[in-house]
Amino acid sequence: MNKEKLYDVVVIGGGPAGLAAALSADEKGASVLLIEREARLGGILKQCIHDGFGLVRFGKKMAGPEYAQTFIDKIEKSKVHISLLTFATSIEKCDDGVRLTLVNCDGVETIIAKSLVLSTGCRERTARQIAIHGTRPAGVYTAGSAQYYTNVLGYMPTKKCVILGSGDIGLIMARRLTLEGATVIGVYEAKPTPSGLTRNIHQCLHDFNIPLYTSQTVTRVFGKERLEAVEVTMVDENMCPIKGTSKIIECDSLILSVGLIPENELAESLNVACDNRTKGPVCDQNYMTMQDGIFVCGNALHVNDLVDYVSESGEGAGKSAAQYQNEKRRLVEINPDNSFLYVVPQRLNLEKPIDSVVMFFRSNIERGKTKLSVTVDDKEVYTKIYRALRPPEMERISIDFTKLPIDEKSVIKLSLKEVSK
């Protein structure tokens, strides 16, 4: 019987979250193994050759690969073990922590991790998942696939396309394809307001005269072999297509930027509880999921709009994983009301520091001047006034929960209320 290798921390996924997690765990003195499925570190940043990364963290605009490289350089100098082209096929709980089965060119190996960080990123919603009907021709791509073809393989997925969804990748691909000589007929968005960051609406659409059509969606595709046309229909406030408002637009590709979903197949196999709002695991302020010793960060936890925050959560998760001692938790639930799309973390562990708890949230709708209020047993512990809130822009706050008495029976609530100007 082979002796299984034992690590303090195993990080799954070598994107921005995983890199940060592995580095911070290493800095805390843990033995760390970083597993990456692809041949190179960097995750999705490898194909994000546009700039705008690192503004919050480094105060300058960097390209995706450039941003990733700052972490890769550090990790190569660290003691972190890196296993590339390696796939975790299964995870199971065991006495010493978790046992992972890994597959790569050398064969199958099982290892044991005292604690595990899931930084598996997210995946894109597909045409079928948003009920686009019709035939199944070539030329229907998610924005990420189109980006991979363009930026990594160096081939044009389209000459003339329609982009559905105004998510950030869709906006960035609108600009990218235009720069490469393709015609982007328009970006169509089913919601009444755009889904991407304001800065991307300006830099990617307005600056290139690409039209944005809101409250319209693609309802059907045509073409047997290659896409020949799409049917675009107006939708009502419930996003239901309005009869008689359809028109046919000829194009050779439909590029979808219709939402990202945290990738949690491995988490599911460990029965990690997930939050219906984020679609990622429920966690505490130390990024530990409801399974002891299993941590989560980056887009696997919730879909971030800035990589800088992804790195921050990776650092937090890596640090906590390195310090994990199998101690008991005392958890209090955090209850956002319906004015939020979501709030992360969803629990507070009273056994760990609560003096500067970092929370991320998104408003469920566009709001003007709005007051955020955090209460413990109906007493305000934190308030902040925002000039405006938009669902695509994720907000970050840091709260000191030591100001008020708090125990497991306490009720923590968050609410958003518009205030008159």
By CB under 8 A, name the one of 115, 142, 216, 339 that touches another protein.
142
- Per CB under 8 A, the segment of 128-136, 339-347, 372-380, 394-402 that binds another protein is 128-136
Number of Cβ within 10 Å of residue 180's Cβ equals: 13
By CB under 8 A, name the one of 69, 126, 245, 335 that touches another protein.
126
Please identify, using beta-carbon distances, which residue of 220 and 329 lies nearer to another protein.
Answer: 220
- Whole-number minimum distance, CB 333 to another protein, in Å? 25
Integer Cα distance of 373 and 183 in angstroms: 46
- Whole-number minimum distance, CB 13 to another protein, in Å? 11
Please identify, using beta-carbon distances, which residue of 105 and 385 lies nearer to another protein.
Answer: 105
Integer Cα distance of 37 and 175 in angstroms: 29
Give, as ranges, the residues between 214 and 243 that touch another protein (CB under 8 A).
Answer: 219-220, 224-226
Q: Decide: is 133 part of the binding site for another protein (CB under 8 A).
A: yes
Q: Decide: is 248 part of the binding site for another protein (CB under 8 A).
A: no
Q: Decide: is 129 part of the binding site for another protein (CB under 8 A).
A: yes
The CA dihedral of 299, 305, 309, 314, to the nearest 10 degrees, is: 10
Q: Decide: is 124 part of the binding site for another protein (CB under 8 A).
A: yes
Structure tokens at 116: 């595990």
Give, as ranges, the residues between 300 and 359 that touch another protein (CB under 8 A).
Answer: none
Phi/psi at 259 (nearest 5 deg)?
120, 150
- Per CB under 8 A, the segment of 150-158, 186-194, 203-211, 316-324 that binds another protein is 150-158
Please identify, using beta-carbon distances, which residue of 202 and 224 lies nearer to another protein.
Answer: 224
By CB under 8 A, name the one of 123, 369, 403, 413 that touches another protein.
123
Supply angle C-alpha 39, 41, 47, rounded to 5: 90
Question: Strands 97-104, 87-94: parallel, antiparallel or unpaired by DSSP?
Answer: antiparallel
Q: Decide: is 183 part of the binding site for another protein (CB under 8 A).
A: no
DSSP string, 214-249: ESEEEEEEE-SSB--EEEEEEB-TTSPBPTT--EEE
- Whole-number minimum distance, CB 74 to another protein, in Å? 27
Q: Decide: is 275 part of the binding site for another protein (CB under 8 A).
A: no
Q: Look-up: residue for tokens 């490469």? A: 180
Give, as ranges, the residues between 5 and 44 that touch another protein (CB under 8 A).
Answer: 37
- Whole-number minimum distance, CB 145 to another protein, in Å? 6
Give, as ranges, the residues between 251 and 270 that touch another protein (CB under 8 A).
Answer: 265, 268
Supply angle C-alpha 112, 118, 122, rounded to 5: 145
Please identify, using beta-carbon distances, which residue of 267 and 414 lies nearer to another protein.
Answer: 267
Structure tokens at 359: 């929370």
- Closest to 343 in 3D by CA, of 406, 259, 291, 399: 399
Q: Decide: is 59 part of the binding site for another protein (CB under 8 A).
A: no
Describe the strand order of the beta sheet including 183-189 as a list of residue ranges: 140-142, 253-256, 160-164, 183-189, 212-214
Please identify, using beta-carbon distances, which residue of 265 and 378 lies nearer to another protein.
Answer: 265
Structure tokens at 202: 């300006």
Q: Decide: is 89 part of the binding site for another protein (CB under 8 A).
A: yes
Q: Decide: is 107 part of the binding site for another protein (CB under 8 A).
A: yes
- Whole-number minimum distance, CB 414 to another protein, in Å? 26
- Report CA-CA distances (Å) from 9 to 111, 116, 294, 323, 334: 11, 6, 10, 10, 27
- Count of residues engaged in binding another protein, rule: CB under 8 A: 50
The single-letter code of the amino acid at 220 is R
- Whole-number minimum distance, CB 84 to another protein, in Å? 10
Integer Cα distance of 34 and 10 in angstroms: 6
Integer Cα distance of 375 and 216 in angstroms: 39
Site residues (CB under 8 A) for another protein? 37, 85, 87, 89, 101, 103-108, 110, 123-124, 126-129, 131, 133-139, 141-142, 144-145, 148-150, 152-159, 180-181, 219-220, 224-226, 265, 268
